[in-house]
Amino acid sequence: MFAFRRAGALAWLTGLSLLCVEPAIAAGDLLVAPTRVILDGSRGTEVVLNNIGSEPATYRISLELRRMLPDGSLEEIDPAKADSHDATTLGMISYAPRRVVLPPNQPQSIRIGVRAPQGLPDGEYRAHMLFRAIPDAKPVESGAGRKDGVSIALTPIYGVTIPIIVRQGSLAASAAIANPRILREKEGPALAFTLSRSGSRSVYGQIRITKPGIAKPVFEVRGIAVYAEIPERTVKLAIPEDMVAALAGPVKIEYVEDNEAGGGTMASLDAVIR
């Protein structure tokens, strides 16, 4: 699902030891690895940033609270309206530095630690770490020669967000798949289904679809999560037009943990897609 923009970017990942390792994700000229961090309530880790552009760049790092909605999107929570669970999450996660200037192809580690307060109830606690580019200040262009005397320059500001998950105690979860179907959207066809979750933690993995008599999956996608605040979500995956016929008919849909989490099958459904 996520691709490296340069082959050389693989080199700086060598030797990186993490509790939960996921592929890198890029936005603009910023490459971030891993894309998801799980902490056990005491151990710390690192996230590595790399500027794969040709110019130095400045990035600001911050923590945000986000809540998953039933359609799978993430809604930002105003810290002033955070409940006690969210406030505890922000209070126990520490990180440094909070602002970095990266020369081209120069990696930078962001240290992440967690200090669980005494008596912390068992459960899953999650915040989202935002890496936002800070554009360079540029001189205002003169409006001379223009009728209105006004010059407007638009500078895009991009960022990368990854979840930081703290798990306290012995947690477990199970998942189930239901109602797979092809949707005809104005943007194009999409595969949709309901992914439900039960238990004391979130679930995360890849969807794998196989056809009877064909060993190789006809469709795979990584990075599908159902966070602990909701019991189920609708998953909607855009597919090319020629994939509609390939998916139609009898299929087996599996929801599989990533190899780093054990690679086990969390849910399986034999269905007929129409």
Cα separation, 22 vs 162, in Å, equals 11
Average pLDDT over residues 155-170: 83
Asked if residues 103 and 34 have their Cβ atoms less than 8 Å apart, the reply is no
Q: What is the pLDDT of residue 274?
A: 87
- Judge if 7-168 and 173-273 fold alike in CATH terms: yes
The predicted model scores a pTM of 0.82
Residue range 173-273, CATH number: 2.60.40
Sequence spans of domains, the chain: 7-168, 173-273
> Between residues 190 and 142, which one has the greater pLDDT?
190
DSSP string across 12-56: GGTT---SS----EEETTEEEE-S-EEE-SS--EEEEEEE-SSS-
Q: Which residues on neighbouring strands pair with residue 174, listed in sequence order?
A: 198
Lowest-confidence range among 64-78, 132-146, 195-209?
A: 132-146
Q: Return the ∠ at Cα 52 (arms to 48 and 55), rounded to 5°.
A: 120
Whole-angstrom Cα Rg for the chain: 22
Mind listing the pLDDT tens digit for each residue in 78-119?
A: 988 889 999 999 999 999 999 999 999 989 999 999 999 999
Instruction: Look at residues 59, 95, 93, 63 and name the one whose alpha carbon lies nearest to residue 76.
Output: 63
Strand-pair partners of 168: 123
Instruction: Name the DSSP letter for residue 212.
Output: T
Instruction: Give me the CATH code for the 7-168 domain, please.
Output: 2.60.40.10
Tell me what the mean pLDDT of segment 145-174 comes to.
75
